Structure 1
Amino acid sequence: MGSASRVAIVGVGEVGGAVAYNLTLNSMASELLLVDLDLSVRNAQIEDLCDVTYSTNSSTRVRPATYREAAQCDLVVITAASKHMLGQTTVDYTSRNTSMIREVMEAMKPFRADTVLLIVANPVDLLTSLAKEMSGLPPSQVIGTGTALDTYRLRGMAASRALVSPYTVDAFVVGHHGEHQVVVWSAATIGTIPIEDVKMLNAIDRSRIELICKHRSSQISLGKGSAPFGIASVAANLCCSVMLDKHEMYPVSHFQEEYGCCLSLPAVIGRKGILNTVPLSMNEGENAAVKSSGDLLKASVKSIQRDWW
């Protein structure tokens, strides 16, 4: 990394801490700046991560920062959010986290002109859409983790049933992360073979796989209280792609002119954020499902904007 490379993480609870650990372990930046309203948590994370640098010879310096300092970094990762508590309504959860992203954006502005924002907090597409509106940054510099983790899950489950490596599976989950996300089965392949032609997968229950992709994080959280490792590893991969200008392709949430909001489609990611959206062949039903998910999300964004402005 260059001598001036800096990454900030806003919100260093379980997910933010896991992202910070991964970035520190891999010396992904010269400086890692941590921001959190809970100063005791922030300071404890810094001390813990400093121990990582001592034991691994990491070249990353971990330190506390203000919101304004964070906004001047190369990359800002936003994981700050409230947990979705058992019995909490979706409306209440969404309201709390949209208010939180607004407060964070207001506290950070103005951003450095070439800063890239990575939104990890949920509901990720909605928060990414709002961050894009509030940050003042070009749309290409605002990214959400979107359906990237769901895509890895899909590939892993298909691979385990076909007895192959997940790296040989090319399949995507796209659209609005959550209940309305779409698995693009029609374009899925193992190697160069359409997934529909792989005999071992002829009898798989696609509906069950889709449900697992949607709900695995909730199931993990029921068992241990949270699910930070999977999403943190995805976020760290995206950070790496940005900071090292790797031009890798991920299904991430980014602005779609057609829908007027941010949702997930495959995109090439580098130092300037989204370099381009990659066209993905979908059948009529899949296209309709993505459009429907985009329309629902756009309506949610407009509703919040009416309340705010």
Structure 2
Amino acid sequence: MLGSRIAIVGVGQVGAAAAYAIILGSIATELLLVDDNVSLRDGQVCDLSDVAYSCNSRTRVRAASHHEAGQCDIIVITAGSRHTIGQTNLEYAYRNISIVKTIVDAMTPFKSDAVLLVVSNPVDLLTSLALQLSKLPPSQVLGSGTYLDSMRIRGMLADKIGVAAKSIDLFVLGVQGESQVTAWSAATIGGVPINESLSKEDVINRSDLSNECKHRSQSIVRAKGATPFGIGSVVSSICCAIIQDKGTVHPISHFQPTLGCCFSLPVVLGKKGVTRKVQMPLSFEEDAQITDSATALKAMIDQVNNSN
């Protein structure tokens, strides 16, 4: 952790929640906050500094420029517009594409070993474009992807069957959103395949659980405008794995050369970002669903590139 620095670009609800979690965990020596809204940024710096003081965190918080952010060990992009009523998915995507392009351009050139973590939505599309724009190696450009969905469905399953969530290995993979895929075929409980470990009393409707997991973020956003705490904790966990070179496995969005875009599959995370990919045995149907959604994503990326 010695001398480690994390920057968060965009300090609204999600950025502030991520910063709060990072401070509580003392994950970095210094946390830099960046936002075009200088008043908001400075207010968050003061408020979050109080958190650092009160919990005796080793993380110190300060305001910074985009250029300074680009020289940090990890740069987290949470900036983006909200999906407003009446706005099409395409309009929403293009608005956030413009925002992320502006941010990446302002931070370039990056420190050569910097890890760029995209949280803004649509996360896989923006991660793919950030990789193109940043000129960083593919292993150093990541998206939060389906990490939160994977943690969520493990918790939902744990509540239903009375098993601790940490004893369940179950991943949500692919392009985050409507086409994401729950990898039930590879799920285990305590290392035992799920089909062998569940009793008749533990019968669950897997499709219903997957759909509930998929749409829970939408219901939270309808109720309170954003999902800051869940994604904030995920960002903190990813940053911790990188800064501390943990070598732990996480389902995050990263570049898939065979399909030419970024989406979520399990990887090992360390100081240099993705240190190794994990081959997960999926069913034919799961693999086909992931490929179909990635193909559609690549078509969207090509459309964006051709429009510029």
TM > 0.5 fold call:
yes
Q: What is the CA distance between 1:16 and its match in structure 2? A: 0.2
Secondary structure of the 1:281 match is: coil
Post-superposition CA distance 1:33-91 (Å, at most 9, x none): 10000111101100001111221111222111110110000110000011112332111
* Alignment partners' CA distance in 2, 1:153 and 1:60: 28
Q: What is the CA distance between 1:193 and its match in structure 2? A: 2.3
Q: Go from structure 1 to structure 2 and tell me whether the alpha carbon gap of 1:201 and 1:306 turns closer, same or farther (over 3 Å shift).
A: farther
Residue 232 of structure 1 aligns with an amino acid whose one-letter code is G
Residue 37 of structure 2 aligns with an amino acid whose one-letter code is D
* Alignment partners' CA distance in 2, 1:200 and 1:74: 49
Q: Go from structure 1 to structure 2 and tell me whether the alpha carbon gap of 1:201 and 1:193 turns closer, same or farther (over 3 Å shift).
A: farther
Post-superposition CA distance 1:221-267 (Å, at most 9, x none): 11222211001100110000011111110000000011100000000
Post-superposition CA distance 1:137-156 (Å, at most 9, x none): 00000010000011011111
What residue in structure 2 maps to residue 152 of structure 1? 151
Secondary structure of the 1:133 match is: helix
Secondary structure of the 2:33 match is: strand
What residue in structure 1 maps to residue 293 of structure 2? 293
* Alignment partners' CA distance in 2, 1:82 and 1:225: 12
| Contact 1:196–1:202 under 8 Å retained in 2 | no
Tell me how large the CA RMSD over aligned residues is: 1.1
Post-superposition CA distance 1:127-184 (Å, at most 9, x none): 0000000001000000100000110111111111211000111111100000111111
Matched length: 307
* Alignment partners' CA distance in 1, 2:39 and 2:200: 52
Q: What is the CA distance between 1:196 and its match in structure 2? A: 2.0
What residue in structure 1 maps to residue 248 of structure 2? 248
Q: What is the CA distance between 1:192 and its match in structure 2? A: 2.6
| Contact 1:241–1:248 under 8 Å retained in 2 | yes
What residue in structure 2 maps to residue 231 of structure 1? 231
What residue in structure 2 maps to residue 50 of structure 1? 49
What residue in structure 2 maps to residue 163 of structure 1? 162
TM-score for both structures, normalised by structure 1: 0.97
Residue 297 of structure 2 aligns with an amino acid whose one-letter code is L
* Alignment partners' CA distance in 2, 1:170 and 1:27: 27
* Alignment partners' CA distance in 2, 1:153 and 1:57: 30
Q: What is the CA distance between 1:202 and its match in structure 2? A: 5.5
* Alignment partners' CA distance in 2, 1:34 and 1:63: 6
* Alignment partners' CA distance in 1, 2:65 and 2:278: 36
Secondary structure of the 1:43 match is: helix
* Alignment partners' CA distance in 2, 1:274 and 1:201: 40
Secondary structure of the 1:236 match is: helix
| Contact 1:195–1:201 under 8 Å retained in 2 | no
1:198-209 to 2 correspondence within 5 Å?
198-200=198-200, 203-209=203-209
Secondary structure of the 2:178 match is: coil
The range that moved more, 179-188 or 52-61, is 52-61
Q: What is the CA distance between 1:203 and its match in structure 2? A: 3.0
What residue in structure 2 maps to residue 110 of structure 1? 109
* Alignment partners' CA distance in 2, 1:157 and 1:51: 34
What residue in structure 2 maps to residue 23 of structure 1? 22
Secondary structure of the 1:217 match is: helix
* Alignment partners' CA distance in 1, 2:67 and 2:126: 20
TM-score for both structures, normalised by structure 2: 0.97
Q: What is the CA distance between 1:200 and its match in structure 2? A: 5.0
Secondary structure of the 2:87 match is: coil
Residue 31 of structure 2 aligns with an amino acid whose one-letter code is L
Residue 170 of structure 1 aligns with an amino acid whose one-letter code is D
2:181 equivalent to 1:182 = yes
What residue in structure 1 maps to residue 129 of structure 2? 130
Percent identity between the two aligned chains: 50
Q: What is the CA distance between 1:286 and its match in structure 2? A: 0.7
Q: What is the CA distance between 1:125 and its match in structure 2? A: 0.3
* Alignment partners' CA distance in 1, 2:265 and 2:223: 31
What residue in structure 1 maps to residue 212 of structure 2? 212
Q: Go from structure 1 to structure 2 and tell me whether the alpha carbon gap of 1:109 and 1:194 turns closer, same or farther (over 3 Å shift).
A: same
Residue 92 of structure 2 aligns with an amino acid whose one-letter code is Y
| Contact 1:32–1:61 under 8 Å retained in 2 | yes
